Amino acid sequence: MKIPAEFLAQIALWLRGGCLRHRRVRTAAAATGLLALLLAVACANLDRSVVAPLHIAGATHLGSAACADCHAEQSRWFASSPHGRRDRGGADWAPVAGCESCHGPGSRHAATSSPEWIINPRREPEACLQCHIHTAAEFRLPSHHPLVEGRIDCVSCHDPHGTEILKPAGGLAMARENAACGACHREQHRPFVFEHEALREGCTVCHAPHGSIHGRLLTAPGNHLCLKCHAQNQTATGQIIIGKVDHTASLRLGGCYTAGCHMAVHGSNLQPKLRY
Ligand code: HEC
Ligand code: HEC
Ligand code: HEC
Ligand code: HEC
Ligand code: HEC
Ligand code: HEC
Ligand code: HEC
């Protein structure tokens, strides 16, 4: 069974956060052996330098209900959002679920209403990455969206409080629709006379949104990317056929989109074979 890294991170947070405040709970839980096992698994799998509960000097957790008084807008759909639906309410669960899992302990902020005493993950994506350690690693791959560099943030593509986190706030479902990417990349998202039907499956069939080991955020290197959908067949006489066309000679020239044959991978206004 593969345990998602997010849950391991959460368990570690819960054990650490919860344990310190409720020593007796820990002893009882450890006695069952189960949580001890989970902890062992968690520690073996986690980079603990990344997994640290959010900290705000002198502040304690209140639980999500305390935020709703002043923030009705963010609280409205939160209970059925991917993060909110694991919230059990109350201060105990606050570090791992609920508003304060992303915004940090809120007591000083609630008392002062000052933005100084609360974390905004748009400006501090580390708040998200403490749990999403896999995503954190993706943003450090050789080709990545410039998040660490501060030129893009999680909210450019994810709605943190809504029922569907893969939608940007107020936008279309982005994994299927390309509008969210098109907001910044108009050139690739505009209508083409000769469209490349691959784009109907979404930009993410070819691009990893966070980062990739392949250049240009591509999901596969070189011709492999194209051959995922365009089958390559070899005839008995040794010809290589792609898309009903004999490619034996052209493949010797180089890659599908690097050798000058199909440079307009996103679509073309001039040439149906996506040449330019
Ligand atoms: C007594 C009312 C009150 C309570 C309770 C309250 N807030 Fe706020 N919060 C405010 C006000 C007012 C602002 C706007 C501050 C500003 O922009 O000057 C704000 C701003 C924020 C911001 C934006 C900060 C920024 O810099 O962008 C976040 C995030 C936030 N609150 C989260 C929370 C969370 C989480 C809780 C529950 C732990 C909470 N708030 C409880 C009044 C409150
Ligand atoms: C998954 C992490 C996450 C959780 C959980 C979360 N938020 Fe946020 N919150 C964010 C991010 C990211 C932003 C920045 C959004 C933006 O700028 O559009 C934000 C912004 C805010 C703001 C400032 C809004 C503004 O327009 O500046 C408030 C207030 C807020 N959150 C309150 C809450 C409350 C209340 C809850 C619980 C009901 C909550 N958040 C739960 C991630 C989260
Ligand atoms: C306290 C740990 C924690 C924090 C902080 C956190 N997440 Fe999550 N997140 C989770 C867990 C656990 C899940 C899995 C929820 C589920 O599957 O029910 C999840 C799910 C998601 C998903 C949906 C994945 C899917 O397959 O549907 C996205 C996207 C996401 N988080 C983005 C963010 C962003 C953006 C932030 C910061 C604004 C953030 N998370 C902060 C723990 C966290
Ligand atoms: C350029 C847009 C973009 C940005 C910026 C972005 N994401 Fe994503 N994210 C996506 C898309 C698109 C998916 C869906 C991937 C898919 O369907 O293959 C996704 C999926 C996820 C998932 C689900 C697991 C996975 O990897 O498929 C998590 C968790 C997540 N993002 C967290 C984050 C966090 C945390 C941040 C900020 C630190 C962030 N994302 C920034 C576009 C983005
Ligand atoms: C908030 C704006 C924004 C959004 C939304 C956005 N990007 Fe980007 N994208 C950028 C920036 C900034 C760069 C870096 C450009 C540079 O370095 O010149 C970039 C670079 C890229 C690159 C080129 C990487 C390279 O190595 O040259 C690709 C491919 C890409 N984005 C695809 C996507 C896809 C797919 C989506 C939707 C899932 C998306 N982008 C959403 C801002 C955005
Ligand atoms: C069929 C696969 C495929 C799909 C689908 C796709 N791309 Fe690309 N994209 C590529 C390839 C291949 C390159 C690299 C081209 C090159 O290096 O000459 C690329 C390059 C890019 C670049 C970098 C452009 C540059 O000149 O550096 C951006 C930005 C980009 N794509 C955005 C998008 C967006 C946004 C979408 C969705 C609307 C999308 N792509 C859909 C294959 C695809
Ligand atoms: C997600 C699947 C997918 C991927 C990946 C993909 N394509 Fe396509 N492509 C299609 C579909 C569907 C069509 C339209 C049906 C057809 O002609 O096969 C198409 C059509 C084409 C056409 C026009 C064919 C004609 O006869 O009109 C060319 C050229 C092409 N693709 C090249 C590429 C190149 C180059 C790559 C790699 C960068 C690539 N494709 C990656 C799905 C894909």
pTM over 0.85: yes
| Cα–ligand 2 centroid distance for 116 (angstroms) | 15
Q: Using a 6 Å CB cutoff, which residues line ligand 2? A: 64, 67, 71, 74-75, 78, 83, 99, 101-103, 120-122, 154-155, 160-161, 169
What integer pLDDT is reported at residue 34 of this predicted model? 40
Q: Which range among 81-95, 136-150, 248-262 has the greatest average pLDDT?
A: 136-150
One-letter amino acid of 240: I
Ligand positioned closest to the Cα atom of 100: 1
Q: Evaluate: CB of 99 within 6 angstroms of ligand 1.
A: yes
Atom 32 in ligand 2: residue holding the nearest Cα: 74
Work out the end-to-end distance of the chain between its first and last CA atoms, rounded to an integer number of angstroms: 47
What are the C-alpha distances in Å from 173 to residues 121, 168, 179?
21, 7, 9
Atom 25 in ligand 7: residue holding the nearest Cα: 273
CA-derived radius of gyration, the chain: 24
> Which pLDDT tens digit goes with each residue over 52-75?
679 999 999 999 999 999 999 999
Which residues neighbour 159 within 8 Å (Cβ) at sequence distance 6 or greater? 165, 167, 168, 169, 170, 171
What integer pLDDT is reported at residue 92 of this predicted model? 87
Q: Evaluate: CB of 128 within 6 angstroms of ligand 3.
A: yes
Atom 21 in ligand 7: residue holding the nearest Cα: 196
Statement: residue 5 has pLDDT above 70: no
Instruction: State the average pLDDT over residues 205-233.
Output: 95
| Cα–ligand 2 centroid distance for 78 (angstroms) | 10
What integer pLDDT is reported at residue 40 of this predicted model? 38
For residues 228 and 11, the model is more confident at 228
> Which pLDDT tens digit goes with each residue over 230-253?
999 999 999 999 999 999 999 988
For residues 52 and 217, the model is more confident at 217
Residue of 6, 64, 78, 129 to mutate, ligand 3, most atoms within 8 A of C-beta: 6
Cα pseudo-dihedral 37, 20, 52, 125, rounded to 10: 120
What integer pLDDT is reported at residue 13 of this predicted model? 52
| Cα–ligand 6 centroid distance for 124 (angstroms) | 28
Statement: residue 183 has pLDDT above 60: yes
Atom 27 in ligand 2: residue holding the nearest Cα: 120
